[in-house]
Structure 1
Amino acid sequence: MLINGKGGRVLLEHRYSILRNRVSGEDMQRNLSISQKKPGFCTGVLVTLAGLTFACSAKADFKGNLNVEVDGLQNQKGLLCVKLFSGSQGFPDSNEKAIKRQCVKISDMPMTFSFKNLTSGSYAVAVYHDLNGDGKLNRNSLGMPTEGYGFSNNPAPSRSGPPKFGNCVFLLAGPNTRVNIQMKYSVGS
């Protein structure tokens, strides 16, 4: 829709052709004079919308780095595994739905994992201390973890199961984002 210059006249002429049979000539003249006074406002709205569209598209292309620091490990046995999720599907157990996954031998305490060039957005992290190196978080017959675990935002443990993605989500929006995770161990593990 054009507002200024010749396009403004085309728009006004179109409005006139639609309305000419509905209103009297005097009413039509008043409508045209009001419309001719508003092109600056309409142009301002269009410029604002174009700016917002550009800002949103620029944000979507932004890349940043994520550093995940894991503290509270009971020992240096086995592996420490971390999974990064960009949505709730498969969180926190699925290896296939994780967008990034790493398992490394524990060398330092605390341990730090780095993920480079991530698109800005919402993420959640799940971590587990794989004592026996089988690549999964082992559980007892009641479903309680027998190995250490942790999540971004450090939600409180629950008997109803692992936390939901929404409880662990954080926003990656700057060049460097840091997430600290405190490991939790079940009694007797």
Structure 2
Amino acid sequence: MRALNLRKCGKELTLGYLVNIAAIIGSTACFADASHQTFTLNINGLISGQGNVMGVFYQSEEDYKSRSNGFSHLRIPVTSDSVDVILTDLPNSMIIFTGYQDVNGNNKLDTNLIGIPNEPYGFSNNARGQYGPPKYSQMAFLPTTNKSMTIDFLSN
């Protein structure tokens, strides 16, 4: 399991250090704020040992439609058919996640002639669109309510 954006009062922490602190103290005051809740993202359906999972979180429908202003970007090497990511510092508002497995390492989602992805891809809430990507409303979730999410990437 990988830990990203883990902070304690502004300092980077490793997951092992965080677990030790929690075990000794029982809780940490820096994580009491809702903006610092821990969120676990589980991604399944990957091609083992190939490329990276690339993903981005968006906070507004406008940013998603324009593919700009993503507030958190992921790039995780794929070593098995799934990855687990622990995130903090997610906003206390509705957000979405979009991602794909960059199997060939060209830093883009490869598609066929009519735009259907050739590489595994997925969206928050396992949302599926018809004739294109899903709507923002299908993908939106509140990370302070949902403490974890499993996304099953699709492959063609």
**Normalised TM-score (structure 1):** 0.59
Asked if 1 retains the 8 angstrom alpha-carbon contact of 2:50 and 2:79, the reply is: no
Letter in 1 for 2:45: G
Question: Highest Rg: 1 or 2?
Answer: 1
**Alignment partner of 2:50 out of 67, 77, 95:** 77
Distance 1:117 1:166, change over 3 A: same
**Alignment partner of 2:119 out of 147, 167, 179:** 147
For residues 73 and 86 of structure 2, what CA distance do their matches in structure 1 show? 11
Aligned length: 123
Q: Which runs of 5+ in 2 are unaligned?
A: 1-32
Q: Which has the higher contact order (CA 8 A, sep 6+)?
A: 2
More helix as a share of residues: 1
Letter in 1 for 2:135: K
SS in 2 for 1:121: coil
For residues 135 and 81 of structure 2, what CA distance do their matches in structure 1 show? 27
RMSD of the TM alignment (CA)? 2.0
Question: What is the CA deviation profile of residues 150-174 of structure 1, one whole-angstrom value per residue up to 9, with x for unaligned ones?
Answer: 011112352x211111110111225
Partner of 1:156: 128
Partner of 2:141: 170
For residues 157 and 119 of structure 1, what CA distance do their matches in structure 2 show? 25
For residues 114 and 93 of structure 1, what CA distance do their matches in structure 2 show? 27
**Normalised TM-score (structure 2):** 0.70
For residues 89 and 132 of structure 1, what CA distance do their matches in structure 2 show? 30
Partner of 2:39: 66
Question: What is the CA deviation profile of residues 49-108 of structure 1, one whole-angstrom value per residue up to 9, with x for unaligned ones?
Answer: xxxxxxxxxxxx7312221100111332111112111111242772x4211001121123
SS in 1 for 2:137: helix
Partner of 1:134: 106
Residue identity (%) = 24
For residues 90 and 120 of structure 1, what CA distance do their matches in structure 2 show? 17
For residues 151 and 54 of structure 2, what CA distance do their matches in structure 1 show? 12
Letter in 1 for 2:142: L
For residues 139 and 43 of structure 2, what CA distance do their matches in structure 1 show? 15
SS in 1 for 2:75: strand
